[in-house]
Amino acid sequence: MDNLRRLQSDWQFDGYKVLEGRHSIILDGEDIVDVLPQDEADQKYGHIEPETFEGCTIMPGMVNCHAHVIMPGDGSEAEVMFGRDNEILLLQGYTNALKSLASGVTTLADFGDRDDITFHLREAIECGAAIGPRMILSGRPLTIPEGHAWNMNGVVRNEAEARALAREVFSKGADVLKIMASGGGTAGSDPYNPQFPVSILEACVEEAREAGKPTAAHTSNIQCIREVIEAGFDIVAHGSFHDSEGNLVGLDPVSAEMALERGVYWNPTLAVARSGIRHMEKTGTGDPEVLAEKKAKWARRAEGVRQMYEMGIPVIAGSDEGFGTYAFGGHWLELEALVDAGIPEDAVLSGTTILPARALGMDHLVGSLESGKKADLMIVAGKPFEDITLTAKAERVILAGEDVDLGETFLDFE
């Protein structure tokens, strides 16, 4: 019983809901062993001096289901970023992982490696050579020659190569298969059309199911979204409803119905789209007409995401940090964007705890305050379930039962 800790606070969000009344969370080493109302905890664990966080909420550590740790998020051009050696990108990944953890993200899913950098990073964290969150890895995302993120070295030319790469990343320890199903921000790729034939999408799902792992698809057009859902993908990333000419609607009802029916998790990455807008506003750069157009498109997408939430589609928070001008440590900006889209705060908190844990097949370990789960916690001042922006600052981060103390100096978000 030596390892027992008893944490208590004014409010608790357990991953599903706000608990009624004060509760105690009992930790034994790296595990949560009990979550009890105060009076019951007094009886059962009265002998343990409680650690009390006055005016705070205890919640599960956040899960960020979509990030790119090897990317700086400082607006660098792709040629500059990917012109760097892997050793530099590994250090970039380490710094980003630290920032994530300090911000309260205790489980970080990386959706875009180059070569095997993130596997090395995770190994370094696991053997104690580096400090970082739990890492869920996709390895290299599959793409086509000169397609989106080709510079991550996951180019495949046919079904046999797609299957081979899928097997390779799983053999290296990937937890999820990521495929760039449509083009994207990479110059020369086409965001408005699928990159792969349906047969390759199906082959990817088959390989992942064989390995017992989930699948995630980067998509930004209607045809591609319908195809990946039909093929059986578990997570739709971005999911912006463009037609083949690039016209954007907020919602494609057919895709939404399919997603609902198939139990697809929706990762809309609303903040990364807005990070460009905010960057333009802050720096006073860019054409005002372009800015207005970007804002209008963002509002349209946000409205579509709200409608999908209301239909019952699980909306999960993955920030796409590292991309564009979206720096690490700002996962909360995605939560803010989801609230601004019209999703209630408590649902957004579930969308960054239990729901992404489920989507990634990690809910047996993380995502909620429940006995048997890992003691990954974030303690936030005030009531983040009423004001989501409070998640911008963690009063305390606990990873596997240990307090994370990284100082605040390198977290620079306002």
Q: Smaller CB distance to Zn ion: residue 320 or 345?
A: 320
**Applying CB under 5 A, does 334 fall inside the site for Zn ion?**
no
- Assigned token pair, 86: 């892997």
The residues in 185-224 that bind Zn ion, with binding defined as CB under 5 A, are: none
How does strand 235-238 pair with strand 265-267? parallel
**Applying CB under 5 A, does 320 fall inside the site for Zn ion?**
yes
Q: Smaller CB distance to Zn ion: residue 208 or 235?
A: 235
**Applying CB under 5 A, does 34 fall inside the site for Zn ion?**
no
The Cα 380–Cα 395 span in angstroms is 5
The residue of the chain with the least Cβ separation from Zn ion equals 320
The piece of 47-55, 92-100, 132-140, 315-323 that touches Zn ion (CB under 5 A) is 315-323
Nearest approach, Cβ of residue 138 and Zn ion (Å): 10
Query: What are the residues facing 321 on neighbouring strands?
Result: 67
Q: Smaller CB distance to Zn ion: residue 273 or 380?
A: 273
Distance of CA 346 to the CA centre of its chain: 17
The residues in 277-296 that bind Zn ion, with binding defined as CB under 5 A, are: none
Nearest approach, Cβ of residue 36 and Zn ion (Å): 40
Q: What is the dihedral of CA 99, 267, 282, 390, to 10 degrees?
A: -60
SS (H, E, C) 88-130: HHHHHHHHHHHHHHHCCEEEEEECCCCCCHHHHHHHHHHCCCC
The Cα 117–Cα 197 span in angstroms is 29
Q: Smaller CB distance to Zn ion: residue 207 or 320?
A: 320
The Cα 398–Cα 64 span in angstroms is 16
Please provide residue 97's backbone torsions phi and psi, each rounded to the nearest 5 degrees. Answer: -65, -40
Q: Smaller CB distance to Zn ion: residue 70 or 201?
A: 70
Nearest approach, Cβ of residue 68 and Zn ion (Å): 6
The residues in 87-116 that bind Zn ion, with binding defined as CB under 5 A, are: none
**Applying CB under 5 A, does 14 fall inside the site for Zn ion?**
no
Q: Smaller CB distance to Zn ion: residue 71 or 125?
A: 71
Contacts with Zn ion, residue ranges (CB under 5 A):
320
